[in-house]
Amino acid sequence: MAGHSKWANIKRRKGAQDAKRGKIFTKIIKEITVASKEGGPDPDGNPRLRLAIQNAKGVNMPKDTIERAVKKGSGDDAANYMETTYEGYGPHGVAVFVECTTDNLNRTVSDVRAAFSKYGGNLGTNGSLEFIFDRKGVFNIPAPAELDEDELTLDLIDGGAEDVEIDEGYLNVTCAMEDFGNMQKKLEELNLISETAELQRIPNNLKVLEDEQLLGVMKLVEALEDNDDVQKVYHNMDIKDSQIALI
């Protein structure tokens, strides 16, 4: 899990910029809409919706915006969204995994392929990066004021945590995909409220790049993230502490 908490911190910093552009709200609203359409508008009986609403609250999305997204997903005129993924390599052999939610597959694949081509990458076939990324549950939790690190770590391991890191006032907890629900319940028992909770694709094969190389790959990552059809972008760069300020 080397570099995982580091990337969580980068995402938090970058999240503030994304929120200003409205990008983060757009993606979460789409997730709420899809979750409501698939599992119904009641978060108590719809775990995916409950998680999406939790993440919306984590970025301070207004309550009425959340309610409109839920209503839109459960209405007769809900958009016919499809979920799809794309895999490929960016410059310098960096693996890039893209998760999308779209109402137009032709548009999305065209835009994703164009981004890879423009920034020196190549779009590959689905499944080509399975050996690089593991699907994990990831919880980002503001650390409680009074924290017994050893005791809390043992409690979280009991709930299914594979990795617990404390960094910059946050708990970064990782678990197997199959233990995601159990981990949620454990956090509720411990009265810990996640700022974000999601299934992520965590790289097990990391690449270290020079500053200029990293900035080149980040152009591709940011171009993909700026696409409204793209929900999440994962890569296997091991970003050094000295490089965080460059992003």
pLDDT tens digits along 179-238: 998 999 999 999 998 888 999 999 999 999 999 999 999 999 999 999 999 999 999 999
Percent residues over pLDDT 70 in the chain? 89
Q: Which of 34-38, 60-64, 85-89 has the highest average model confidence (pLDDT)?
A: 85-89
Residue ranges covered by each domain of the chain: 4-74, 82-131+205-238, 133-203
Residues 150 and 191: their CA atoms lie apart, in Å, by 17
Residues 116 and 127: their CA atoms lie apart, in Å, by 17
Burial status of residue 242 (CB atoms within 10 A of its CB: 0-12, 13-18, 19 or more): exposed
Span 77-99, average pLDDT = 91
State which amino acid sits at residue 169.
G
Residues 118 and 115: their CA atoms lie apart, in Å, by 5
Query: What confidence category does residue 244 fall into, taking pLDDT thresholds of 50, 70 and 90?
Result: confident
Instruction: Yes or no: say if 236 and 1 are a contact pair by the CB < 8 Å rule.
Output: no
Q: Of the CATH numbers 3.40.190.10, 2.40.30.10, 3.30.70.980, 3.40.190.170, which one belongs to the domain with range 82-131+205-238?
A: 3.30.70.980
Half-sphere exposure of 239 (CA within 13 A, CB side): 20
- Strands of 133-142's sheet, edge to edge? 161-167, 170-176, 133-142, 196-203
Residues 160 and 186: their CA atoms lie apart, in Å, by 9
Q: Which pLDDT value is given to residue 5?
A: 47
Other beta carbons less than 10 A from residue 128's beta carbon:
14
DSSP annotation of 98 reads E
Burial status of residue 19 (CB atoms within 10 A of its CB: 0-12, 13-18, 19 or more): middle
Indicate whether 115 pLDDT > 70. yes
Q: Which pLDDT value is given to residue 153?
A: 92
Q: Whose CA is closest to 195, among 143, 141, 137, 138?
A: 141
pLDDT higher at 17 or 164:
164
Span 49-58, average pLDDT = 90
Which is the CATH superfamily of the domain at 4-74?
A: Integrase, N-terminal zinc-binding domain (1.10.10.200)
Q: Say yes or no: do domains 82-131+205-238 and 133-203 share a fold.
A: yes
State which amino acid sits at residue 48.
R
CA distances 106 to 55, 84, 176, Å, are 29, 11, 33
Q: What is the pLDDT of residues 118-129, one digit of tens each?
A: 999 999 999 999
Q: Is 133-203 CATH 3.30.70.980? A: yes
165-191 residues labelled b (16+ CB within 10 A) or e (exposed): ebeeebbbbbbeeebbebbbebbeeee
69 phi/psi in degrees, rounded to 5: -65, -40
Span 76-100, average pLDDT = 91
Residues 68 and 135: their CA atoms lie apart, in Å, by 31
